[in-house]
Chains A and B, each alone.
Chain A
């Protein structure tokens, strides 16, 4: 059964890698969050932004369009309307900690699992990404 699931996910990747492109080209309108959340500490958000957009650490811009970040790649979808799409912050954190858990063929770096970023750095990145 698990084999089957993998097979299907592979099929999706190999035959329709176009969805990646499709995703990244889809215009997404920024929405106000539906759930009211406590405002994040601006210092933490700023630290998260520095990690996410800097080349040496998160380098999320290598693959994602983020706000006005310079020369973004498009391997992953644009990071927009995150609160609306990830009402559960833990899910967002899980995606960043190890994207291959949800999608074994994901090209996204498993930042937590392979210790590219520390837990603390990931927490900061999550706070920043959640403001997008």
Chain B
């Protein structure tokens, strides 16, 4: 029996609403908060000994062996030079004499404002996009979104924002915001690529199990630690670089970093981490 597209849709709806029903035993239609609760309860049932706050540490919340390595790495954090370079970027005026400080008067500890629903532009606003809008408004070229200097300034902002709490809001009276959230959620549950995985296949259904030697992390906590210094990359990279990587691994075409689909995915994914502490920049394998 091959599932039709319709069948898949129904499947996904059932999957999420079932998680809600089975786990929260409420009959409420699944909104963002119900989704988040369902994820949290699901992981809790899977990892009963993991304290709620630990999820911000990604896979190391559930991988004691990897965690030892990670703690050793954190003693001499490989992302430190990037924070310093980012501070310089933050302080340095643009050619027109203005700077990031003028765009972000509350800065640099502003991580907890993102992502948010931008009512005026009718789109999900992420921190990297806001930084580039600031640059372009001041006649500067936008930075690339996956590699390079954007990671410096993101590292600095993340470091200054440590301890802030993820607090994403989906204004339910704004159909655009709800649709963006729903699109992100749909993306998360849709199988794609020649290998036929969804984000949920790995980070929900099989969390805690191993693909080769890699333990699959829960999606709660996926957004707290960015940008990340990955040993595999030998440098610091953005969340959307990671999205591309996970898409490439399943032989799906990676989408545009900071394009609508990845921003909406980030919106959904970030909502799931509400209540978790920001602890970026992070270090990962």
Contact = CB atoms under 8 A, between A and B. Distances in A.
B61 to A, nearest CB: 17
A109 B208 CA distance: 19
Contacts of B11: 6, 10, 104-105
A132 interface: no
A125 B60 CA distance: 35
Contacts of B209: 20-21, 24, 73-75
Given A62-B212, A75-B210, A114-B194, A14 B15 contact: yes
Given A109-B196, A110-B196, A21 B22 contact: no
Given A3-B10, A63-B211, A110-B196, A10 B206 contact: no
B114 interface: no
A7 B18 contact: yes
Contacts of A17: 46, 205-206
A107 B2 contact: no
Interface in B1-42: 1-3, 7, 10-11, 14-15, 18-19, 22, 42
B195 interface: yes
A6 B14 contact: yes
A126 to B, nearest CB: 19
A124 B194 CA distance: 21
Interface string B171-194: 000000000000000000000001
Q: Which one of A14, A15, A101, A109 has the highest number of Cβ atoms from chain B below 10 Å of its Cβ?
A: A14
Nearest to A14: B19
B212 A71 contact: yes
Contacts of B15: 10, 14, 105
Given A14-B42, A20-B206, A110-B196, A75 B18 contact: no
A62 B215 CA distance: 11
A61 interface: yes
A101 B181 CA distance: 31
B231 to A, nearest CB: 17
Contact of A104 (B3, B22, B42, B194): B3
Given A11-B22, A116-B194, A116-B195, A107 B212 contact: no
Interface residues on A, range: 20 to 34
Interface residues on B, range: 20 to 34
Interface string B263-285: 00000000000000000000000
Q: Which one of B1, B197, B212 has the highest number of Cβ atoms from chain A below 10 Å of its Cβ?
A: B212
A6 B213 CA distance: 31
A8 to B, nearest CB: 10
Contact of A75 (B194, B206, B213): B206
A15 B38 CA distance: 11
A43 interface: no
Contacts of A114: 194-196
Given A7-B18, A72-B210, A105-B15, 16 more contacts: A3-B10, A10-B14, A14-B205, A17-B205, A21-B208, A24-B209, A62-B212, A73-B211, A73-B214, A75-B209, A101-B1, A104-B11, A105-B11, A107-B205, A114-B194, A116-B195
A100 interface: yes
A110 B202 CA distance: 15
A13 interface: yes
B110 to A, nearest CB: 37
A115 interface: yes
B201 interface: yes
